[in-house]
Amino acid sequence: MKQNIRNWAAAAGATGLMCAAMASASAATYTTILTGAKEAPPNTTEGIGAASVKFDTTTHVLEINAAFAGLFSDSTAAHIHCCTSTPGDGTAGVATETPTFGGFPVGVQTGAYHNVYNTSLAASWSSAFLSANGGTTAGAEAALLAALNAGSAYLNIHTTAYPNGEIRGFLAPATPVPEPAGIAMLGLGLPAVLLVARRRKPRAT
């Protein structure tokens, strides 16, 4: 029970950070709701998450906030992938730090994450993404920014049961009025989602 309380508190903290990011609604703020239905191929996990990304190519700051709950299996990694050929669809290679976001909670089914990257450093990017964009951090920054604005970059969370990704969502510019699912996630917070997840039927073994 104490661990669940800590999980709820962590998720609530991340949700608060996402609300603050959305409040600014700057052109460089991007948000998404992560679900299994948005994966490729889709899956039936009851896991859910939310993420907010703020990107400033002038100051070379990439700020990532995320929270998730109710995953089917333990987390193993999380990334931003870029860039799909069709906005909101398809798959792409990892753009950000590998093998996972630094400090991302692994081995858990509920968690929260916050980190700030200096995108002028090569270590903030995957080597493949750097190579595909001129071999420079400036090229990587320009490519990711264009993809974020076009809706062709996504954030996903990988797990033991779904090594290619259990939940994901395509990042899109923040708007003053988020989608209904976003309102629920950002307004009520992931602790409420976790409560629902705890009440689901036991999985068949």
List the structure tokens of 1: 């029970």
pLDDT(92) > 70? yes
Amino acid at site 103: G
Query: What pLDDT, on a 0 to 100 scale, did the predictor assign at position 176?
Result: 56
Please give the average per-residue pLDDT across 150-164, as a whole number: 97
Of 31, 42, 89, 23, nearest to 65 by C-alpha is 31
Give this prediction's pTM: 0.77
Helix or strand or coil: residue 178?
Answer: coil
**What is d(CA 95, CA 6) in angstroms, rounded to the nearest whole number?**
31
**What is d(CA 18, CA 54) in angstroms, rounded to the nearest whole number?**
10
Residue 111, in any domain of the structure: yes
Residue 171, in any domain of the structure: yes
116: enclosing H helix or E strand:
strand 111-118
**What is d(CA 180, CA 183) in angstroms, rounded to the nearest whole number?**
5
Domains: count for the chain? 1
Residue 204, in any domain of the structure: no
Residue 203, in any domain of the structure: no
Query: What pLDDT, on a 0 to 100 scale, did the predictor assign at position 28?
Result: 81
**Residue-wise pLDDT tens digits, 43-75:** 999 999 999 999 999 999 999 999 999 999 999
Residue 163, in any domain of the structure: yes
Fill in the DSSP letter of residue 158: E
Query: What pLDDT, on a 0 to 100 scale, did the predictor assign at position 1?
Result: 44
The domain of 61 spans 2-198
